[in-house]
Structure 1
Amino acid sequence: MDLENRKFNMSPIKTEDKVLFFGTAALSMTMIGYSLSKGTGAMMRFINKWEIPSVIRETSVTSVYDYLKNPVIAIRKIGERRALKESLNKLVFTEQINNKYQELVGTTTYAATQKLRTNRRNVMVYGPPGNGKSSFVRKIAINSGVHYAVINGIDLMSRNQKLVPEIQKLFDWIYKRRSNPFVLLVLKADEFFNNRTNEHIREATCIFSEKLKNNNFNSLMVLMTADNQIYNIKINDYINDFVFILTPEKEQKLKLIRLYAEKYILSVEDKYRKELESIYDEIASATKNMSCQDIEMLVKLWKILLYESKSDKNPKQIILECCYRTIQDNKKKVKKCII
């Protein structure tokens, strides 16, 4: 046989090489796509696991989703937390409330939690509106070095059939953070727990009562109410501590007026210091029935009137007239509420 003159047909071999090449490429792309889909799915599950529940109105926690969505705002929250701590530490309470604050801070820190190895206490903070109940709780959380979250009872009532899943998601989210202490603040708790109008609220109340009973998820649950009357026995029986924050007395009110005057007026215009110093005591006595929030709004009003005044009136006279006019307006509001 003449091997030198033999001719081979190479075209089938070339075709098989092309099929093998494209088949390998397709398989590789499929594997890459599968890996990416699995990786994306795992990433989304991780984000959803730590995503802040929608029922939370305010929290000191910054989620992974927040960092990925807008890292600038997420980092800014850290600075806002420091500023909030400074402002909360300037709050003025009675000696009794300050002693209760020290007690709660001492049992809420991470070190105390690890040492005690016991369930957290459930606390009810009550009193007339505008006197710093929620600020009192935020102060406990921030100075204990723990995170806090705020939910609102009225907001919960509006969720209807979504209420129970959202409450379960909330407690699951808190339980995932069980390695560190946590403060859960429930605003308008009396309006929510005293409401038995539909099955969704009743079922959600049962979930809360179970969590209050078996508070083993390392959190301090605080119920905020106007008074200490929650008529749901399942909730009331599991409250361990009560804190009554009343309208401040004259001594605390004097400190508040000085604090707000320094913050809103004297830090900008020091020339009014002498006039203000001469009437602080009179204003503290005249505003005996006003809340802390009312006093802050009053001082803000002074600032506006002083800066806009073009008359020959003495600043002291402007402030006193504003003060007594505001007191009369508050009395009219109270009368309307009573009627």
Structure 2
Amino acid sequence: MSWLFGINKGPKGEGAGPPPPLPPAQPGAEGGGDRSLGERPAPKDKWSNFDPTGLERAAKAARELEHSRYAKDALNLAQMQEQTLQLEQQSKLKEYEAAVEQLKSEQIRAQAEERRKTLSEETRQHQARAQYQDKLARQRYEDQLKQQQLLNEENLRKQEESVQKQEAMRRATVEREMELRHKNEMLRVEAEARARAKAERENADIIREQIRLKAAEHRQTVLESIRTAGTLFGEGFRAFVTDWDKVTATVAGLTLLAVGVYSAKNATLVAGRFIEARLGKPSLVRETSRITVLEALRHPIQVSRRLLSRPQDALEGVVVSPSLEARVRDIAIATRNTKKNRSLYRHILLYGPPGTGKTLFAKKLALHSGMDYAIMTGGDVAPMGREGVTAMHKLFDWANTSRRGLLLFVDEADAFLRKRATEKISEDLRATLNAFLYRTGQHSNKFMLVLASNQPEQFDWAINDRINEMVHFDLPGQEERERLVRMYFDKYVLKPATEGKQRLKLAQFDYGRKCSEVARLTEGMSGREIAQLAVSWQATAYASEDGVLTEAMMDTRVQDAVQQHQQKMCWLKAEGPGRGDEPSPS
């Protein structure tokens, strides 16, 4: 238990440890105060400052400890402490060794990193050197190319100069040759001219005598020919006049020839008019259901289907109000019975806003009655000018040749049937109107006249006198619009989407509710505008990526259609009141 006595034992616990180091000697110590600079100080005794009292106390403590009963425990404790110190020293030694190994590994890693950096730097330098060498090689190659190009240009320039010199020499040679040839030619011509003039002067009398002889011979030949022809013609005419049978036969032949030529000409004109009236289509007719020979030859299947088709309902696809539906149905029944009884047809006027179904009803009326229909427009009459009268007569001649009866539908009739008293109508149009009035002055069992107009107040009074019944087609109401929306939605959207033949699909939503909503939003719109709205739905679906028509897409197109309709109404109001085609509120 050296720690109890202030002494430090050795590793084996025997004796005291080495004494503490002595302080360094001071310059002014004993025995050295007056030494010279060259003398060394005398060594001082190391035990001069040793205190023996400590050893005495330690020895006394050791003796007491030996006689104490805890001596063995103290010794064991000291040994344990010594072992603990040794273990600590060993652990520190291992830590030191581990630190040394870690330092070595760090040094190895640092060396590897330094080597890697060195290799990378060498690689970069090699690349830079290679790039520089490549750049130098390209520069040398480009310099060589430039030098070669300059050399080639120089050689080409020299060759061009040589060629130009040779060409100049050749041109000069040719010009010299041409000049010499021209001089020789001129000399030759001059010599020939002098020789010819000399010969002509010498032979002038001979030449004149030859010309005189030839003229006399030609005159004698002509006179003899005239005498011979006169003699022959006189004898023939004398023989023809004295023979009355020949005279009679000649006169009869010439007469028959003139009659034949005149008859053939008139027969050709009559046959042409007959063929044109029965087989051809007049120029004023734009569309007709009447079958011609050419159409039968071109489309035999379609013509046979049309001939075998049954009469259709007059209001199939036509959506009108209940009161108007009852009235037009009565007209259809009366027209059909008129055709069956071969009675006289009545002329009808259909008037109202555009797009309300006037043309569609006229077609359905003709098909329902078993008649042919022909559609013409009033705007085609005015540009014909003087030919309008002839075209109008051809139209009615063609209509009178129909065996099934013809329904002549005149769309935009106010374009040429306007009042004759106004100064806006031309003389040609007035003559055409007179021809129309002449051909429609009496009722016929061959054709039925149906006029359609947005401005019936502009009709000539004679036209109003020929109309037997007037039917007003108004804009569709709420119920009619809903029927139209459902019909066109089914035709242009629902049916193509369910058949799967087109790139069109329909999203899942309440179709009936949506149609009712669209009918409510489209107030004031005509049937044609609603049909165009349905077509726009179809086009919107085609324009989408997946071809699916959603409810939001339909709403967008409805809003656009409503805005466009409002814009049209603004334009219509800006034109001023008094227009017959101004829509009435539904």
Normalising by structure 2, we get a TM-score of: 0.47
Give the corresponding residue for 2:555. 320
Question: What is residue 341 of structure 2 aligned with on the other side?
Answer: 115
Q: 1:203 offset after TM fit, Å?
A: 1.8
Q: Unpaired runs of 5+ in structure 2?
A: 1-263, 499-505, 575-586
| Misfit runs of 4+, over 6 Å | none
Match status 1:284 vs 2:509? no
Cα distance in structure 2, aligned partners of 1:321 and 1:84: 40
Q: Deviations over 1:92-134 (max 9, x none)?
A: 122222222222222222x5345373x3211100010011111
Bigger Rg over Cα: 2
- Amino acid of the residue matched to residue 478 of structure 2? K
Give runs of aligned pairs for residues 167-206 of structure 1, distance below 5 A.
167-177=392-402, 179-194=403-418, 196=420, 197-206=425-434
TM-score (norm 1): 0.78
Q: Secondary structure at the match of 2:375?
A: strand
| Cα gap change, 1:73 to 1:238, in 2 (>3 Å) | same
Residues 186-195 or 150-159, more deviating: 186-195
On the 8 A contact 1:276/1:316 being kept in 2, the answer is no
CA 1:181/1:104 → structure 2, altered by over 3 Å: closer, same or farther?
A: farther
Does residue 219 (structure 1) correspond to residue 444 (structure 2)? The answer is: no
Paired-residue identity, %: 25
Partner residue of 1:249 out of 451, 455, 477: 477
Match of 2:353 in 1: 128
Whole-angstrom CA distance in 2 between matches of 1:114 and 1:261? 38
What is the match of residue 37 of structure 2? Answer: none
Confirm or deny that 1:63 pairs with 2:292. yes
The change in CA–CA distance for 1:44 and 1:141 in structure 2 (over 3 A counts) is same
Deviations 1:151-202 (A, max 9, x none): 111101110011000101111111222x533211111111211164222211
CA RMSD after TM alignment: 3.1
Contact 1:108 1:220 in 2 (8 A): no
Contact 1:47 1:65 in 2 (8 A): no
Structure 1 counterpart of 2:415, one-letter code: E
Matched, 1:89 2:313: no
Post-superposition offset of 1:85: 5.4
1:1-80 matches, within 5 Å, as 46-50=274-278, 51-67=280-296, 71-73=297-299, 75-77=301-303, 79=305
CA distance in structure 1 between the partners assigned to 2:508 and 2:392 by the alignment: 51
Residues in 2 aligned to 1:90 and 1:221: alpha-carbon distance in whole angstroms: 22
Question: Which moves more between the two structures, 318-327 or 97-106?
Answer: 97-106
Conserved in 2, the CA contact under 8 Å of 1:122 and 1:212?
Answer: no
Mapped pair 1:267 → 2:502: no
- What per-residue deviation string (whole Å, max 9, x for no partner) do you get for residues 134-162 of structure 1? 11111110011110111111101110011
Q: Would the alpha carbon gap of residues 217 and 211 (structure 1) be closer, same or farther in structure 2, given more than 3 Å must change?
A: farther
Structure 1: runs of 5 or more not aligned: 1-36
For residue 330 of structure 1, report the CA deviation from its aligned partner: 1.9
Which residue identity does 1:301 align to in structure 2? S
State the partner residue of 1:166.
391
Letter in 1 for 2:436: F
Deviations 1:47-102 (A, max 9, x none): 323121111111100222433xxx23354255479699589722212222222222
Rounded to whole Å, the distance in 2 between the matches of 1:151 and 1:127 is 18
Q: Which residue of 2 aligns with 1:332?
A: 567
Q: Secondary structure at the match of 2:386?
A: helix
Tell me the SS of whatever aligns to 2:416.
helix
Q: Aligned residue for 2:144?
A: none
- Quote the residue 1:102 is aligned against: 329
- The number of residues matched between the two structures is 297
Query: CA deviation digits over 1:251-291, x for unaligned, max 9?
Result: 11111111111111111224446342231111101101111
- Kindly provide the amino acid, as one letter, of the partner of residue 356 in structure 2: N
After alignment, is 226-235 or 279-288 more displaced?
226-235
Task: Give the conservation status (yes or no) of the 8 Å contact 1:266–1:272.
Answer: no
Q: Deviations over 1:226-261 (max 9, x none)?
A: 033144111111211001111111111111111111
